[in-house]
Amino acid sequence: MITRTIRERGSYLLFLIPGALLLIAVVLVPFLMNVGISFTRWQGVGDPQWTGLDNYTRLFGDSTFWSSFRHNLALVVAMAILPTAAGLVIAAALFDVIGKRFGPRAASVLRACVYLPQVLPVAVAGIVWSWILAPRGALNEFLGLVGLGSLGQNWLGDPDVALWSVMGVLLWIQLGYPVVIFMAGLQRADPSLHEAAELDGASWWGRFWHVTVPQIRPEVFVVLLTCTIAALKVFGPIYVLTRGGPGGATNVPSYFSFQNFFEKTQVGYGAAIATVLTVLILVLTAVFLKVQNRGERA
Amino acid sequence: MTGIWGRSGRVLVITLAAALAIAGCGSGSGDGGPRTLKLWHYEGPDSAMGIAWAEAIKQFESAHPGVKVAFEEKGFEQIQKTAPMVLNSKDAPDVLEYNKGNATAGLLSRQGLLTDLSEEVTKRGWDKQLGQGIQTTARYDERGVMGAGKWFGVPNYAEYVMAFYNKDMFAQQGIAVPTTIDELTAAMDKFVAAGITPLAVGGAEYPAHQIMYQLALSKANKDWVDRYQRYTGTVDFHDQAWTYGATTFADWVKKGYVSKDSAGVKAEDMGVSFMQGKNPIMITGTWWYGRLAAGIKNFQWGSFLWPGLTAGSAGNMWVVPQGSKNKDLAYDFIATTMSPQIQDKLRDAGGVPLADSGSPAASPQIKELTENFKTLSAQDRLAFYPDWPAPGYYDVQVSAVQKLITGTATPQQVLDELAKPYQENLANVGK
Amino acid sequence: MKRHAVLWSLIVLAVAMLAPFVIVVLNALKTPAQYASDGPLALPTDITFQGLADFWNRVDFGQKLFNSLVISGSVAVLAVVVSVLNAYALGIGRIRGRLWILIAFLVANTLPQEAMVYPLYFLAKETGLYDTQLSVIIIFTIIQAAFGTYLLTSTYAEFPHELIEAARIDGANKWQVLVRIVVPVSRPTLGVLFVFSFIWTWNEFFLPLVLLISNDTQTVPVALGVLQGQRLMDATMTSASALLGVIPAIVFFLIFQRTLTRGITAGAVK
C-alpha cells in the first residue's frame, strides 16, 4: 500500500503544472524584479541607478515605517480576529437557528445582507463612510436623536479616535467574507454529530464550540490567515478614508509604500518597503501553515 | 454522472474560449486613409474646460476636413499614475492634457518623453499671449525644474486662490468686503461673536494647507516664492513668512475661525458646507467657481481677492508626447484652443482664460473673475502651490497642517516637519 | 423566545450592514442641485435619472460592463480550475514539499499590488499584451487562484479518503477521481470560490488602471475613476454609477446563493 502511494505521488505533480507556470510568470518573476529594483534609485521612468543596500539601510532606520506597523496590529484585530470570531457565531446562527427554524430563504437573505459590503467598491464605501462619520454626519446625528449626543466624536478628524473609526469600517467591510465561507463549510459538516450532541443535552453554545467549530477547522484557518494577510496589506480603505491621517494617525506600511512608489516617485525605496513587508508576511504565513498542518491527518 | 464535461461545462468552455479570444485583442486602431488625432483629457464635460474643448474639437474638425479627432476622456488619477508608462509605449496619444510642475511635466521632460515645443511657440506667438508668471509652469530646464528653458506645454487657462463669500450672511452682520488681512480678521471676529464658524475648511485635503500658504505669502515676496518653488536660493522654514503662516493659522484655530472638527473634512464636504450656507467664507481656488454657480440657489455670493501674493498658476497644459505621429495636427489643435472664440467659450463657462479677446463677459461675476486674474497676472502675484516643490509633498503638507488643527503639534514642530522632505528633495533635484 | 431573539439580533445586524447602501441609493437618485443645497444625507425630493443616462453615454458604460463581465467571468472560471488542479495535487496527492509550494502560491496574495505594477507593465509591454484584457485576466487568475489553492488544499486535506479509495479500487485513474468524486463533493466550496473570484476581480481598480489604457478595454471601476477629478468630485454621479456597477456583482452572488442554499436545506433535513 505504502509503496503504491509513493510511486503515485510523482504523477500528482502534473496537476500543478498550469498553476506553477502562471505563478512563475505572473508572480515570482515580478517579485524578483521588484527585489532588483529595491537595490536601485529610480523614478519610474528612465534608467535605474544601482545603489546597493542603501534603501534597506534607510528603511531600517525609518521610524515612520516601523511605527506604522503598530497601527497595522490594531487593524489585524479589526480585520481578522473580530470578523472571524463574529463570523463564526453569525454563520452558525444563520445555519442552525435561522436555516432550520425559519427556512433557508430567510437565512439566505440575511447572509446576502451581511455579505453586501464586500461587493461595494472600496472607493464608494470610503465616500459614504466619510459622510456618515463627518462631524455633522449621520452617526453623530443618530447619536443625538437617541439621546447619546455626548458620545459624538470627530470620528475621522481626531487623531485619538481615527484609528478606531477605520477599524469599525474595516469590520463592516470584512464581516461578510467569513460568514459566507463558514456557511459553505458548515454544509460539509456531518449533521448527525450535531443531532447526537443535541440529544445528549448539550447547550447550543456547547454544541457550537465542541461540534460545529472543529468541523470547519480548515475554513477557520484559511479565514484567519487570509484576513491577517489582508490586514497587513490593507491600503484601499485607508486611502479613501483618511489618507493615513490625521497627522499620520492611521498610517500603515502599505500606504507608506504606495506613497513612495507613486507620489514621491521613489520607486527603489518603495520596492524595498514592499519586499520587507512581503518577507515579513511570508514568515508569518509559514509559521501559521505549520500550525495548521500539525492538526491535519499525517 | 456527467462530471465537468457535461453540457453546461461545454457551454462554459466555449464561452470562455470566445471571451479569451476577444480579450486577446487590444483596442482596435483603425488606420489608413483619413488621419486621426488621438486626444486625451480629464476634465469633466460640464466643466469650463470640458465645454470649451468640446467646441475646440468641433472647430478643429471643420477646419481640417479629412481629419478625425479620436477623443478619450480619462480620469485624473489614471493619467497621474500611468502617464510615464503610457508615454513610453506605443499606445501614447498625439496630444494630451497633463499636470504642470517639476514632479510631473518636469520629470517627463527630463526623460525625453515630451516634445520640445519652443519653436512652435515662437512661430505661433503663444509666448506673447502668455504672461511671465504663466510661462513659468510651461518651461523646464535640463534638470526638470520649471521657470526657464524649453517649452514643453501650452496652458489654456489659469487658476488662483481667493475667497468666496456669502453676501447675505455678510450683510446680516453688517460687514463690508475685506481688503486686508486685518479687515478679514475683524470680519471673522464678528461671525464668531454671532456663534458662526466663519471659514469652511477641508483639513483632510488641499484647502487647509493652501490657507496656511496664503498666510505665509502675505509676509513674503516674489524672490521668496522663487527660492521655494524653483530652488533659486536657500529656504529657511523658520523665517518670518513661514513662522507667520504657521502661528497665525494655529491662532485662527484657537480663535474659532477654523473649526477644530475640520481636520477630517474633505474638500468636497467643505464646498457643500459653503453652498448650504453653513459657513460664510471659503478660501479656495477658482476651480470651484462653476460648481458654486450651478449649485448655490439660496443666497447671493461673490469673491474677493487675497491681498498681495496668492497661490495660483497656469492651469493644466497640453503636451505632445515624443512618440506622436501627428505632431503638426497636435500643434494646430493647440492653436485652436488658444483662439479667441475658444478662450471666450472657456471664460463664459466659468474658467479663467489666458487670452483676452475684448468681448464682453457673460455675467458680472465672470467679469470679476477674469478681471481679478488680469490684475494678478499683470502684477505678477501668482505664487504657485505649496505642495509643488517635492514629489509626494502634498501628503506631508496635509498631515502637518492637520496637526495644527487638532493641536497635536506646535507651529515650530510643524515647520520642522515641512522642512525635512523639502531639504531631502532639494538634494536630489536633477539627479 | 430564544430563537426569535436570535432572529431579531441578526435583523438588526443586517440593517446596520445595509445602512450605508441606503445612503448611496439616496444620493444616486438626487439631483446635484439638491445635493448641494441639502447635503448628502437628505432624502431626495426630486428623483432624477437624467444624470445617470448622461454618464452612461459619457463613458460608454455598456461597454465597460461588458469588459468587466468578460474579465471577471473568465478569471472566476480559470481561477477555480487552476485552484482545483493545484489543491488536488497538494491536498489529496500530498506531494512532497507541499507546505513550501503552498507558501510559494501565497506570495501572489502577500505581494502588495504597487510592487507588481512596474514589473507587470514591463512584462506586458514585452509580450505585446499591454492594454489588452488578456493580461488582466492572466494576472488575476493566478492572484485569485492563490487564495483558491489555499482554501481548497485546506478542505481537501480533510477529504474523506474512503470515497477516493473506493473509486481507485473500481479502477479509476487520478483524473477520473478528480472529476467524478472530488469536484462534485466539494461543490459548495467551489461555488464560494467562484463567487469570490468574480466579485474580487470585478472590484479591482489599481492593476486595471495601469494595464488598460484605451477606453474600450477599461472596466467599470476604472470608468468610475473618471468622476474623481483632481480637486472636485461628482458625488451624486459617483453614487449612481457605483450602484450600476455593483448590480452585476450582486446578481452574480444571488445566482450562486442557490448552490449554497441547497446545502442549508440538506443540513436541515438531514
- Assess whether C82 and C43 both reside in one domain: no
Tell me, yes or no, whether C240 lies in a domain.
Answer: yes
Rounded Cα gap, residues A37 and A63, in angstroms: 22
Check residue A131 and give its pLDDT.
87
Return the DSSP state at B3.
Answer: G
CA distance B103 to chain A (A): 8
C200 is in which domain, residue-wise?
Answer: 59-269
What average pLDDT does this structure show over C104-133? 92
Q: Does B359 touch chain C (CB under 8 A)?
A: no
Q: Which of B347, B338, B344, B429 is nearest to B390 (CA)?
A: B429
Chains that touch C (3 or more CB pairs under 8 A): A, B
pLDDT digits (tens, 9 = 90+) for A121-173: 888 888 889 889 988 888 888 888 888 877 888 888 888 899 999 999 999 99
- Assess whether B271 and B408 both reside in one domain: yes
ipTM (interface pTM): 0.87
**pLDDT greater than 50 at residue B254:** yes
Question: Which of A87-91, B146-150, C169-173, C258-262 comes out lowest in average pLDDT?
Answer: C258-262
Check residue C1 and give its pLDDT.
57
Check residue B28 and give its pLDDT.
47
Check residue B121 and give its pLDDT.
94
**Number of domains into which chain A is organized:** 1
- Assess whether B345 and B404 both reside in one domain: no
- Assess whether B250 and B394 both reside in one domain: yes
Tell me, yes or no, whether B345 lies in a domain.
Answer: yes
Tell me, yes or no, whether B372 lies in a domain.
Answer: no
CB B128, CB B137: distance < 8 Å: no
B347 is in which domain, residue-wise?
Answer: 35-156+315-358
Identify the helix (H) or strand (E) that includes residue B150.
strand B150-151
Check residue A6 and give its pLDDT.
44
Which of A6, A14, A29, A187 to mutate: most C Cβ within 10 Å?
A187
A173 is in which domain, residue-wise?
Answer: 63-294
Residue B133's pLDDT band, with cuts at 50, 70 and 90, is confident
Q: Does A124 touch chain C (CB under 8 A)?
A: yes
- Assess whether B165 and B267 both reside in one domain: yes
CA distance B406 to chain A (A): 7
What average pLDDT does this structure show over B315-325? 94
Which of B36, B42, B76 to mutate: most C Cβ within 10 Å?
B76
Residues of C in contact with B45 (CB under 8 A): 58
What average pLDDT does this structure show over A204-232? 88
- Assess whether C83 and C212 both reside in one domain: yes
**pLDDT greater than 80 at residue C261:** no
Residues of B in contact with C30 (CB under 8 A): none
- Nearest-10 crossing angle of helices B393-406, B206-217: 80
Cβ of B3 and C179 within 8 Å? yes
Return the DSSP state at A49.
Answer: E
Cβ of B399 and A244 within 8 Å? yes
**pLDDT greater than 60 at residue A5:** no
Rounded Cα gap, residues B200 and B207, in angstroms: 9
Check residue B385 and give its pLDDT.
95
Tell me, yes or no, whether C53 lies in a domain.
Answer: no
**pLDDT greater than 70 at residue B2:** no
Cβ of C37 and B81 within 8 Å? no
Q: Does B391 touch chain A (CB under 8 A)?
A: yes
**pLDDT greater than 70 at residue A100:** yes
Burial of residue B170 (number of CB atoms within 10 Å: 0-12, 13-18, 19+): buried
Cβ of C70 and B22 within 8 Å? yes
Tell me, yes or no, whether B368 lies in a domain.
Answer: no
Q: Which residue has the higher pLDDT, C160 or A83?
A: A83
What average pLDDT does this structure show over B311-333? 94
**pLDDT greater than 60 at residue C268:** no
pLDDT digits (tens, 9 = 90+) for B335-370: 999 999 999 999 999 999 998 888 888 888 899 899
Cell 514568515, residue located: A283
Rounded Cα gap, residues A87 and B87, in angstroms: 47
In chain C, the percentage of residues whose pLDDT exceeds 70 is 95
- Of residues A157, A263, A266, nearest to B265 (C-beta): A157
- Assess whether B136 and B240 both reside in one domain: no
**Number of domains into which chain B is organized:** 2
Tell me, yes or no, whether B367 lies in a domain.
Answer: no
- Assess whether B295 and B168 both reside in one domain: yes
* Distance (Å) of CA B47 to CA B333, C222, C233: 19, 20, 11
Which stretches of chain A are DSSP H helices? 2-23, 29-37, 54-60, 63-76, 82-92, 99-101, 104-115, 122-132, 138-145, 159-174, 176-188, 191-199, 204-207, 213-215, 217-233, 236-241, 253-258, 267-294
Q: Which residue has the higher pLDDT, B149 or C267?
A: B149
- Minimal-distance CA residue of chain C relative to B26: C132
Check residue A45 and give its pLDDT.
82
Cβ of C174 and A13 within 8 Å? no
**Strand-strand pairing, B301-304 and B157-166:** antiparallel
- Assess whether B349 and B424 both reside in one domain: no
CATH for A207: 1.10.3720.10
Rounded Cα gap, residues C238 and C244, in angstroms: 10
Q: The whole model's pTM is what? A: 0.89
Tell me, yes or no, whether A132 lies in a domain.
Answer: yes
**pLDDT greater than 90 at residue C237:** no
Q: Which of A115, A114, A116, A155 is nearest to A135 (CA)?
A: A155
pLDDT digits (tens, 9 = 90+) for C36-75: 888 888 888 888 787 778 888 888 899 999 999 999 999 9
Residue C264's pLDDT band, with cuts at 50, 70 and 90, is very low
Which of A5, A17, A23 to mutate: most C Cβ within 10 Å?
A23
Check residue C250 and give its pLDDT.
86
CA dihedral for B181, B184, B189, B195, sign (positive or negative): negative
Check residue C97 and give its pLDDT.
87
The gap between the terminal CA atoms of chain C, to the nearest Å, is: 25
In chain A, the percentage of residues whose pLDDT exceeds 70 is 96
Cβ of A257 and C114 within 8 Å? yes
**Number of domains into which chain C is organized:** 2
Q: Does B275 touch chain C (CB under 8 A)?
A: yes
Cβ of B107 and A45 within 8 Å? yes
What average pLDDT does this structure show over A170-187? 91
Burial of residue B354 (number of CB atoms within 10 Å: 0-12, 13-18, 19+): buried
Cβ of A30 and C119 within 8 Å? yes
Residues 40-59 of B with CB under 8 A from A: none
CATH for B226: 3.40.190.10
